[in-house]
């Protein structure tokens, strides 16, 4: 993931998107083989090292990127700096990273880490949107409903394509079974 971050830093935000799409493609087929927390043990029963790579490196990278989008760039990078400062030259674990991220984001991230690192289940959700007139102009009403029994924390990034201006992205943190919010629109929404 840090190699992908370097590409993003050197070439701009568009550079990381194809890398993350590839990570996702490699991960989806084997995600049910176990949680990231199993580490090197993943794939040993089947003698398939690709499972380890897909889950630890690729899904791990996706989870780090989701964490970044969920807490925001400032909290994420501050959390990494804190983690490095606190654990430099010492053995650290996943909970130590979680604590560093919680301290900089001000959020309880236990459920995020539990679902994405220690669990192999993936969430399922429905998205419904509608354009409505708000007191300050048009806005997009968004409703996200999680379908599985366990509630996941994740960032939902939507690209708003306008008819009369460049597209824009918005990221909505999802932390409840049902999340409803509105986003102001900057123009005529096409998609």
Per-residue model confidence (pLDDT) at position 54:
85
Strand 178-184 to 154-160 pairing: unpaired
Residue of 49, 51, 55, 67 lying closest to 23 (CA atoms): 55
10-residue stretch averages of pLDDT, the chain, 191 residues long: 94 91 88 84 77 88 96 97 96 96 97 95 94 92 96 95 93 96 93 90
Answer left, alpha or beta for residue 157, where phi above 0 means left and psi between -120 and 50 means alpha: beta
């Amino acid at each position: 993931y840090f190699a992908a971050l370097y590409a993003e830093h050197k070439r701009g935000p568009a550079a990381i998107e194809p890398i993350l799409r590839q990570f996702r493609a490699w991960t989806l087929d084997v995600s049910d083989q176990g949680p990231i927390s199993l580490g090197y043990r993943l794939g040993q029963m089947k003698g398939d090292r690709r499972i380890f790579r897909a889950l630890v490196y690729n899904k791990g990278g996706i989870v780090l990127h989701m964490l970044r989008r969920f807490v925001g760039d400032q909290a994420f990078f501050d959390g990494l700096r804190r983690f490095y400062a606190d654990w430099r030259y010492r053995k650290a674990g996943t909970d130590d990273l979680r604590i560093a991220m919680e301290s900089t984001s001000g959020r309880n991230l236990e459920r995020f880490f539990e679902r994405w690192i220690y669990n192999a289940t993936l969430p399922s959700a429905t998205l419904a949107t509608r354009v409505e007139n708000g007191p300050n102009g048009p806005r997009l009403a968004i409703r996200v409903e999680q379908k599985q029994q366990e509630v996941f924390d994740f960032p939902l990034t939507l690209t708003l394509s306008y008819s009369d201006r460049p597209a824009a992205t918005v990221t909505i943190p999802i932390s409840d079974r049902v999340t409803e919010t509105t986003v102001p629109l900057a123009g005529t929404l096409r998609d």
